[in-house]
Chains A and B, each alone.
Chain A
Amino acid sequence: MSAFIFDDCIFSKDLKVECDRQGLVSTQRLEDDLRGKEDCIVLPAIVNRGSVLVTEDRRMAEENAEFLSNDHPGLLVVASEESTKTLTGRLVRAILNRLKSVLPNWHSVTMRNSIVEVTQRTVFVYHADRGTIHYDRHMPLDDPKMLEDLVTILNRNASKPWSRTLPTGAE
């Protein structure tokens, strides 16, 4: 069973209860010792615990990409596509429920080595390599090919093909 940790910024009891009720993944709130801590402390701590971090903080990945450059369990960023619409617990649940509805096997889909950003209408996939975030693809949630494309790109990232394409002698 995959494990997800909710960042403080995205946590709500209702969200956790809803996820737990489904019983498909294990969820947890960010531990007390990490609450209020810097991004560069939170991110590696969660990565080392082998859980997917669910956050609304997209900058966390951008500014701490070095912690995501080796094997990591994945990062799920929930964001609002409308810049004037601040994320609330209700909006986060709506966005995640939409993703779950178009990706019925979401709980068994690997997010390993991927940074997945989901909004009201779109899923973006990125990966980190040598301290830099690289864009992979984005897919509208209402695109019939979205499911296939998303699973393909997530599986590809899980195997880290970019780490095998380094030129000889690099690093």
Chain B
Amino acid sequence: MNDRHGAGNAPQEGTQHLAHLTSRSSRVARRPKALPWGSGRARLVESWGTEGPPGAAPEGLHEEYLGWAAQVSADWLEQQKRAGAVDYHIVGHVWLMQRLLSAARDLTQLITLDPAVRGGVPVLTGTRLPLARIFAEVAENRPLSEIAEDLELPAESLMQVFRALAGSLERPYAR
């Protein structure tokens, strides 16, 4: 792995614009210009108050920022934490994005990402069924077995998706 980032996840190809974030030994976590740091970051933390982050991402927490959080290496983050250069909320974002990234790795066997199939929307492998629909069906309070029956799919294939997600969120946060 990249020495700059310790043994964790180094930024991947195609994220050069984020490279400067982790390449300096600065005590302050650097960011691309558009990130909600500065006043945006203050607003972010302020909006969370002492009760911690709300269920949904606060306004202003945009994709570029989350992309950054997914790329930061665990070791680099640990160093920054020890140096007091990043606050607890940022650590939380990084943790969550990295776990979701880990889930994505586990899910690669179960889902198909192909621009030619359903316009690139992630689908359950071997079908044209968007993964989003499975989650939306669950959010309508339908049991997985009922969803599987309605979609005429093996229940096991749906359960595997949830198992992969569950497994990715088992790791403790901010130890």
Contacts and interface: CB of A to CB of B under 8 A. Distances in A.
B55 interface: no
Nearest to A7: B128
Contacts, number: 69
B112 interface: yes
Contacts of B140: 88, 90
B119 A36 contact: no
Given A8-B129, A9-B130, A38 B114 contact: yes
Nearest to B136: A86
B7 interface: no
A123 interface: no
A35 B152 CA distance: 12
Contact of A11 (B119, B120, B151): B151
Contacts of B120: 59
Tell me if A's interface is mostly helix, strand, loop or mixed.
loop
B119 A39 contact: yes
A11 B152 CA distance: 9
Interface residues of B, number: 25
A20 interface: no
B132 interface: yes
Given A8-B127, A86-B136, A90-B140, A57 B151 contact: no
A37 interface: yes
B117 to A, nearest CB: 5
A42 B152 contact: no
Interface string A35-59: 1111110100000000000001101
Contacts of B152: 11, 13, 29
B137 A9 contact: no
B133 A57 contact: no
30 contacts: A7-B128, A8-B129, A9-B123, A9-B130, A11-B151, A11-B152, A13-B149, A35-B126, A35-B128, A36-B117, A36-B125, A36-B126, A36-B128, A38-B114, A39-B117, A40-B116, A56-B130, A57-B119, A57-B128, A59-B118, A59-B119, A59-B120, A60-B119, A86-B133, A87-B133, A88-B133, A88-B140, A89-B137, A89-B150, A90-B140
Given A35-B128, A57-B119, A59-B118, 15 more contacts: A8-B127, A9-B128, A9-B130, A13-B150, A13-B152, A35-B127, A36-B123, A36-B126, A38-B114, A39-B116, A57-B118, A86-B136, A87-B133, A88-B137, A88-B140
